[in-house]
Amino acid sequence: MPSLGADMESGVLLEWLVHPGDRVRKGDIVAVVDTAKAAVEVECFDTGVIERLLVEPGTRVPVGTALAMIATVPDPALHQARVTGAGPAGEPAQAAGRTAVPVTSPLVRQLAAERHIDLGSVPGTGPGGRVTRADLQAAARVVPEAPPVPDGARVRASPLARRLATELGVDLGTVAGHGPGDTVDAEDVRRAAAERLDRRSTAGLPSTADRASAMRTQIASLMARSKREIPHYYLTETVDLAAAMTWLRARNRELPVPGRLVPAALLLKAAALAIRAVPDLNGFVVDGQFTRAEAVHLGVAISLRGGGLVAPAIHDADRLALTELMAKLKDLVLRTRAGRLRRAELSDPTITVSNLGEQGVESILGVIYPPQVALVGFGTVSDRPWAIDGLLGVRPLVTVSLAADHRVTDGASGARYLLAIRQLLQRPEEL
């Protein structure tokens, strides 16, 4: 049972993801463990074959307990490793099925003790399978993949990593170190933070239902007020995205996977830029008075997996490069679903975009978020027939819609806005 937090004393094995006889590689996820905080996946530190599972799912065991035996490939009888966070230093390695611990030099034994390495788990390449210093060093490089941090022990982490861990709320004890001397560095913390967000919902937060119901009430009241107070008018426009999609594919071929752009990024950017044509769609009505907003803080409606909807802002969306906007969007979605939004993001939007098309619907006639005065909707991007130069062709199309407050603007202004979006999307390279 690995220690997955400085305060963790034991954990429940939830699920085995491997079976006896399975071949596993270092880094494979082999089990899921429930700590007090979350369900966490357990990586395997060795490459070999699962020999035996030692703990039944549903069992709570103390940190340091062997969970399974892995036989390393060359000689299962001699080279066995435990899938665990290693017991207390110096504890004799005596898991079931183990043959004699190989003979080693005192220096190697001392080094092993210092580094908390179970000698029995180290494949020996010396005479008679003896574990050499080099073997130990090789093993030492493997072990910190998930450092077994005894309760209360100090984690080796860089100062920047410590600062980030505090800011991101990451428990350093759960982070594997890849920095100098296998210390935890900033990159490790960022990765851990991202993974934890991915994982958060697996823990089955008990408050999810409560939160969803509270959110439902809030949405109900806001939307009712919008429909009651705001005289909506609606416009739609279908836009040919052939140029945009071609450009996007070419651009994405140059970008690494994590930096890739999705069509939504282009649509959002176009919606933000088009505000310059009709600035009166960007702002708030307070006490019947419209105030135009100078900056474009684009609200993005994000549906939550447990139900419900949040529309936090991407600040200054009109001034962000596409790659920046994409990065912000990813970050925003991740944090929205993790419930880690900042206050300003929730209160700042000056106009909102609903991208429900992601779910496959053709067009959206939305409800404005008070006190904003407009909501832009993008339907799904789909190949449809389209007349080009008098001929019928098949093009990727999107239906763009606008719901706007008639107290502030008229249909003509709204139409100008949609046309601006269409024009912008014909020149994706300028977005």
Partner 1 sequence: MADTTYREAIREAIREAMRRDERVFLMGEDVGPYGGAFGVSLGLLEEFGPERIRDTPLSESAFVGAGIGAALGGMRPIVEVMTVNFSLLALDQIINNAATLLHMSGGQFAVPLVIRMTTGAGRQLAAQHSHSLEGWYAHIPGLRILAPATVADARGMLWPALRCPDPVLIFEYGGLYNASGELDGGAAVDIDTAAVRRPGSDVTIIGYGGTLSTSLTAADRLADDGIDAEVVDLRTLRPLDDATLLDSVRRTHRAVIVDEGWRSGSLSAEISARITEQAFYDLDAPVARVCSAEVPIPYARHMEQAALPQPAGVVAAVRAALGRSDG
Partner 2 sequence: MKPEDMDRLIRTALREVAPDADLAQLGADADLREALGLDSLDFLRVVELLSQRTGHRIDEEDYPRLATITSATTFLSDRAAVR
Q: Decide if residue 340 touches partner 2 (CB under 8 A).
A: no
- 244 conformational bin, left if phi > 0, alpha if psi -120 to 50, beta if neither: alpha
| Cβ at position 145, least distance to partner 1 in Å | 13
Which residues ranging from 159 to 178 are in contact with partner 2 (CB under 8 A)? none
C-beta of residue 61 within 8 angstroms of C-beta of residue 10: yes
Report residue 42: phi and psi, to 5°.
-110, 125
Q: From the list 185, 240, 280, 318, which residue makes contact with partner 1 (rule: CB under 8 A)?
A: 185
CB-nearer residue toward partner 1: 165 or 293 = 165
DSSP 254-281: HS-GGG---HHHHHHHHHHHHTTT-GGG
Buried b / exposed e along 356-370 (16+ C-beta atoms within 10 A): bbeeeeebbebbbbb
CB-nearer residue toward partner 1: 159 or 288 = 159
CA atoms of 86 and 88, how far apart (whole Å)? 7
Distance of CA 130 to the CA centre of its chain: 44
By CB under 8 A, the count of residues binding partner 2 is: 27
Which residues ranging from 294 to 323 are in contact with partner 1 (CB under 8 A)? none
Q: From the list 252, 323, 382, 423, which residue makes contact with partner 2 (rule: CB under 8 A)?
A: 252
| Cβ at position 245, least distance to partner 1 in Å | 33
Q: Decide if residue 26 touches partner 1 (CB under 8 A).
A: no
| Cβ at position 160, least distance to partner 1 in Å | 4
Q: Which two tokens stand for residue 261?
A: 């752009």
Q: Decide if residue 228 touches partner 2 (CB under 8 A).
A: no
- 144 conformational bin, left if phi > 0, alpha if psi -120 to 50, beta if neither: alpha
Q: Decide if residue 258 touches partner 2 (CB under 8 A).
A: yes
Helix (H, G, I), strand (E, B) or coil at 309: strand
- Provide the binding-site residues for partner 1, judged by CB under 8 A: 137, 141, 158-163, 178-183, 185-187
- Provide the binding-site residues for partner 2, judged by CB under 8 A: 17, 29, 41, 195, 198-202, 249, 252-253, 257-258, 260, 262-264, 305-306, 329-330, 333, 355, 358-360
